[in-house]
Every structure is written in C-alpha cells, then in structure tokens.
Chain A
Amino acid sequence: MSTATALPGLERMVAFRPQMMSYATRKLGDTSLAEDIVQDTYVAALDKADSFRGQATLKTWVFAILKHKITDALRGRYRRNAHEVMIEDDPDDDSLEHLLFRHDGHWYDEETQADLGSPEQMLHNRQFWLALQHCLNGLPGLQAQVFLMRECLGMSPTEISAQTQLSCNNIHVMLYRARLRLQKCLQINWLSEEPGAES
C-alpha cells in the first residue's frame, strides 16, 4: 500500500508489535519482561524511524534494536544466575574471522571472495533485495544497528558512539565484522542464486 510510507514511524511500527511480542517472549520465556523490552525498543527505534521509508527496511531497523535489547536482558539475567551465556554482540568475538582467515591472516579461499557486481540495478532486483534483507537480519542485533546507523542514517562513528555508549574502536570493529558477514552472506545467497552465475 503506497500510503503506508506516508504514515509517521510510530504508527508504522505498531504493525510489528504482535511479531515483536512473540519473538521476544520466545527468546526470553517471560511475557512481562518481553512487554517491557518491546516498549523500550519502540522508544529507542522511534527517533530514526522516519528515516526508514519502506516498511520492510523499518522492520529490519526495529528488529536489530529488539534483538540487541533481548541480548542485554539475557546477559543480565544469566549473570544473576551465574550461568555462562554466549554473547552475540561481544566485540571480542572473532569466530567469523577464524572461519574466513587462516591463522597467518590470509584468506582460506580467496577465490570465494567474489565480486558482488555493480549497485545500479541491485535494489530493483527482487532476488537481491530478499538476499540483502536475509543477510541484514542474520547479523547480530547490535552489529546490525551500528551498521544501519552508519550506512543508512549516515552517522559518524563519533555520533554512533554518543548514542550507543560503544567506544569508537568497538564501532570500527563492528562495522568491519558486519561488512565481512554481509559480503560472505551475499556471496552465498545472491551470487550462487543468480541465473547464469559461474559456480
């Protein structure tokens, strides 16, 4: 519906509420906590919501924030219960780099670092759009949030730092990992799907 994009961000975000609630409840196992987290997410997402004009792109933004808030909540809870938890947004987590690079820092397989193509037709190509959505949604929440702040909202690392309380160095690391992940993901989900692409 073309009128949807003319509505203010808050009204458009209301449409996601049932999905946000069911996602948060499933992750947290606690309806009232999920309620709080979804509410917090609305507040945090609202500020920039109007910058995401498409409904699906707004959703990517909102869910990036939601996922991060859920991680934060789980982290707090697990710490109280003295459990170990894998922290998806841990800036020191370098499992991806270990998959891509050998211990001497060279690509495992540099041939797979294929050229994604040129940007011109990409966003009008439905297959590419779906692959991009899929890959953005696969990023850890905070990484996605930082990447969208940088690339969609055009915020500088200093501005992102002021808003997220992350150090500028952490932001550089997150952007780097987001770029590595997205390139890898698009190489798998876009290039290999493209008709006529060499395999």
Chain B
Amino acid sequence: MKPTLTDCRSVTELLSRAQEERISPADRAAIRLHQLICPGCRAFEKNAATLRAVMSQYGKTESPDADQHGRDDTNRGDSEA
C-alpha cells in the first residue's frame, strides 16, 4: 500500500521511517510540500530529531539527581501496564 502523502498520518509515518532509511526524493518533496501548510507535521519532524539527539545521550547519562532516583520510584514501570 503506497501512502498518498497528503494526510498527516502518512506523512509522519514516513518521516519516522526516514530516521532509519533513505526515502525517495519524490517522497521527500511531497513531504516538504505538505509541511508548508501543516505546522503539526513540521513540529513532528523537528521533535523526532530532538528526541534522537536526547536519546543518544540518555543511556550515557546519570539522572540529574541520581540519589533520589534510586529510592523514590517504587511504581517504576507501572504507569501504563
């Protein structure tokens, strides 16, 4: 199924995929065109890049208040399940 790249869901899905692999110039152009009129999809792309930059540091980082973290999170991992 080929997405049409006129709706935000397809655009953001492809923007996500573009973080793992090269996407075609035609798709890239269609995304740019859509983003001209869509602030939501512009924000998604920028935030995805921000998350990537943050996460690349995340594993290497101790929390800003490591001592407190060791104790106060008895509900860790419990928030959704």
Contact = CB atoms under 8 A, between A and B. Distances in A.
Contacts of B79: 134, 137-138
Give the size range of A's interface with the partner: 35 or more
Contacts of B19: 175
Interface residues of B, number: 48
A196 interface: no
A52 to B, nearest CB: 5
Interface in A81-126: 88, 97, 100-101, 104-107, 110-119, 122-126
A163 B9 CA distance: 29
Contact of A151 (B7, B47, B56, B74): B56
A120 B10 CA distance: 30
A176 B76 CA distance: 24
Contacts of B54: 119, 122-123, 132
Interface of B: 7-10, 12-13, 16-17, 19-21, 38-41, 43-44, 46-48, 50-67, 69-70, 73-74, 76-81
